[in-house]
A and B are shown apart, each in its own frame.
Chain A
Amino acid sequence: DADVTQTPRNRITKTGKRIMLECSQTKGHDRMYWYRQDPGLGLQLIYYSFDVKDINKGEISDGYSVSRQAQAKFSLSLESAIPNQTALYFCATSDHREEVDTQYFGPGTRLTVL
């Protein structure tokens, strides 16, 4: 079984709809992240959480919100989706106790906003 899972894997929605993307991990890591990937733009950090009570904005948090429901779960919400939020979204985890802060990525959610 995958260590970092994301649901759904694909989603098509309409402008103005509220969307939630979910991420779960079985690695026991304390840190979790949400990234957005656009072709040719690499990965941009949306939000990150260093533990259940710690939530921080990344470089492109506008239009997004997150919830860390438990150490293993970190969800990303688009309150009112717009077409330029069409992208590939990745959840990642890391463990601050590791010597090198390796990020472990989920398989991604492809979101299309019409």
Chain B
Amino acid sequence: GEDVEQSLFLSVREGDSSVINCTYTDSSSTYLYWYKQEPGAGLQLLTYIFSNMDMKQDQRLTVLLNKKDKHLSLRIADTQTGDSAIYFCAESASGGSYIPTFGRGTSLIVHP
């Protein structure tokens, strides 16, 4: 079945860039997502990218997709303490009725 893998922890200094990586196995993935979960809250969609795109930029966020290697990354520029959260990579495809398969989440810790 589909699988989404991501590292569990990332620690960065405030002001640096953060890069969170994700790999997936479903070659038919149509949409790839990044969700953010702040402490005590549910997940919120941060950004997404269509599988026919290589890159998407939205203010401090840059998403890169390497479809050949099935690798997705999220870069957060000028990381702030408010960016500390768990970031989930997810993918969906028509074969799965577009229900997303989530990775285990990467805990981003931003320290001064």
Contact = CB atoms under 8 A, between A and B. Distances in A.
A113 interface: no
Residue of A90, A100, A108 contacting most chain B CB atoms (<10 Å):
A100
A105 interface: yes
A108 B33 CA distance: 20
Interface residues of A, number: 20
Contacts, number: 45
Contacts of B8: 40
26 contacts: A33-B99, A40-B8, A40-B104, A41-B104, A42-B102, A42-B104, A43-B102, A48-B99, A50-B97, A90-B42, A90-B43, A92-B42, A96-B98, A100-B31, A100-B48, A101-B92, A101-B99, A101-B100, A102-B45, A102-B48, A103-B45, A105-B42, A105-B44, A107-B40, A107-B42, A108-B40
Given A40-B104, A106-B42, 20 more contacts: A4-B42, A33-B99, A42-B102, A42-B103, A42-B104, A42-B105, A43-B43, A43-B102, A48-B99, A90-B42, A90-B43, A92-B42, A92-B43, A100-B31, A100-B48, A102-B48, A105-B43, A107-B41, A107-B42, A108-B41
